[in-house]
Amino acid sequence: MMPSAIQFRKNVLVTILVLFCNSIVAQMNPNIPALFDMCSPHGSAGTFFGKAIIDGNPAEEGDWIAAFDEDDNCAGASQLIVFNGEAYINLPIYGNDGTTPTEDEGMDPGENFYLKIYDASEDKYIIYPNDDFPYPYFDQWLNVNGAPIPAYADWNKEYDFSSTGIPYEVASTNTAGTFLGTATIDGVYLTEDDWIAAFDEGGNLAGATQLIVNNGVSYINLTIYGDDPYTTTVDEGINAGEKFYLQVYDASDHIYINYPNNDSTSLFEGWANMNGAPIPLYSNFNANYNFLQNSDYLVFLALENFCLSEACCAINTYLL
């Protein structure tokens, strides 16, 4: 037989084998989303239970969920289980395999994780958190040999994913003032996918928007809403005399950083209803607000007004 003919037969055989293997893999993992491709099961794990909600409705057949560690390494993926109209999460989250020191396959001791869902009908990935869950990471992973992780063992706990990707959901009212300035994190300007938000003293979201980048400078142009006195059960923003604080959301690092901080320790005062125009105290678009990644500053909120003891105040603080 001619060597080229042998080669041809070999190639055909290899091709058939590859196709055969691929079809087996495809059957094992039907429609696994591309971004979850690397989420292979291995070694130690703990399982995450719950229900997945997308924009207020249960996720659907064919949707997937995955967990990623702090370095964006996939630590596990699974298809959602749709039963009785609910989409259940049964997600094994794997540890980093110690026998492969050059590869990080998942969770290391003390490491946090975040969740990402794949909405198959929209062909879209959505990262948790959202406005209902203001801090990005889950910090209770444990290797329990595949058993449910105690902190995430509740089948009925709902996890709401927001498909808009907007980390904040603002309730606008008919009173507002605009806050102008520039924002930096540790002296570095932010990017256009980053956000800035304002919260009142009670931690109620009063406004949020993406930063505007011009010539590398990230500008704040933030509408901050007042509380609507007619909606007595909801506090949509700033009340008369109420102070506020700012927060940036760094989208690439999934981190939220508050201001004031160790360098600048006062809450913002002087909010005014300007019918949307700039608030006089915050009308300088060149004023810089530098957010510090490593700030352990504690802000005492309005409650300090009637807090007489330090212990009482300590209970009523928000870590910024």
Question: Whole-angstrom Cα distance, residue 161 to residue 118?
Answer: 10
Asked if 227 and 235 touch (Cβ cutoff 8 Å), the reply is yes
Interface pick for Ca ion out of 63, 119, 194, 235 (rule CB under 5 A) = 235
Q: How far is the CB of 222 from Ca ion (least distance, A)?
A: 16
Question: What residues form DSSP beta bridges with 220?
Answer: 181
Choice between 63 and 111, CB closer to Ca ion: 111
Site mask for Ca ion (CB under 5 A), range 76-105, x = bound? --------------------xx--x--xx-
Of 33, 30, 25, 28, nearest to 117 by C-alpha is 33
The answer to whether 273 contacts Ca ion (rule: CB under 5 A) is no
Site string for Ca ion, 195-234 (x = CB under 5 A): -----x--------------------------xx--x--x
Distance of closest approach, residue 267 Cβ to Ca ion, in angstroms? 13
* Contacts of 206 by beta carbon, 8 Å cutoff, 6+ apart: 170, 198, 199, 200, 224, 225, 226, 236, 237, 238, 244
Dihedral in degrees, nearest 10, Cα atoms 101, 104, 110, 116: -170
Burial class (CB in 10 A: 0-12, 13-18, 19+), 307: middle
Query: Residues 239-268 vs Ca ion: string with x where CB under 5 A?
Result: x-----------------------------
Q: 3-state DSSP helix/strand/coil percent for the chain, to nearest 5? A: 15, 35, 50
Unique residue bearing structure tokens 């009063």: 206
58 or 177: whose CB is closer to Ca ion? Answer: 177
Report if residue 45 touches Ca ion, rule: CB under 5 A.
no
Total residues interacting with Ca ion, rule: CB under 5 A: 14
Asked if 137 touches Ca ion (CB under 5 A), the answer is: no
| Nearest distance, CB of residue 9 and Ca ion, angstroms | 40
Closest contact distance (angstroms) between CB of 78 and Ca ion is 19
Nearer to Ca ion, 87 or 279 (CB): 279
Least distance to Ca ion from the beta carbon of 147, Å?
20
| For Ca ion, the closer CB: 96 or 178 | 96
Question: To which H or E segment does residue 7 belong?
Answer: helix 3-28
Phi, psi (deg, nearest 5) at residue 131: -65, -20
- Least Å distance, CB 104 to Ca ion, is 4
Is residue 316 a contact residue for Ca ion (CB under 5 A)?
no
Q: Name the residue nearer to Ca ion (CB basis): 165 or 203.
A: 203
Does 175 help bind Ca ion (rule: CB under 5 A)? no
Measured from the CB atom, the residue of 175 and 261 that comes closer to Ca ion is 175
Instruction: Collapse the DSSP code of 143 into the 3-class scheme (helix H, G, I; strand E, B; otherwise coil) and give the result.
Output: coil
Contacts with 42 (C-beta within 8 Å, 6 or more apart), sequence order: 94, 97, 105, 106
The minimum distance between CB 170 and Ca ion, in angstroms, equals: 13
**What CA–CA distances, in Å, run from 243 to 169, 226, 237?**
20, 11, 10
Q: Which residues pair with 235 in a beta bridge?
A: none
Task: Tell me how far, at minimum, the Cβ of 242 lies from Ca ion, in Å.
Answer: 5
Q: Which of 108, 131, 253, 304 binds Ca ion (CB under 5 A)?
A: 108
Interface residues with Ca ion (CB under 5 A) are: 69, 96-97, 100, 103-104, 108, 200, 227-228, 231, 234-235, 239
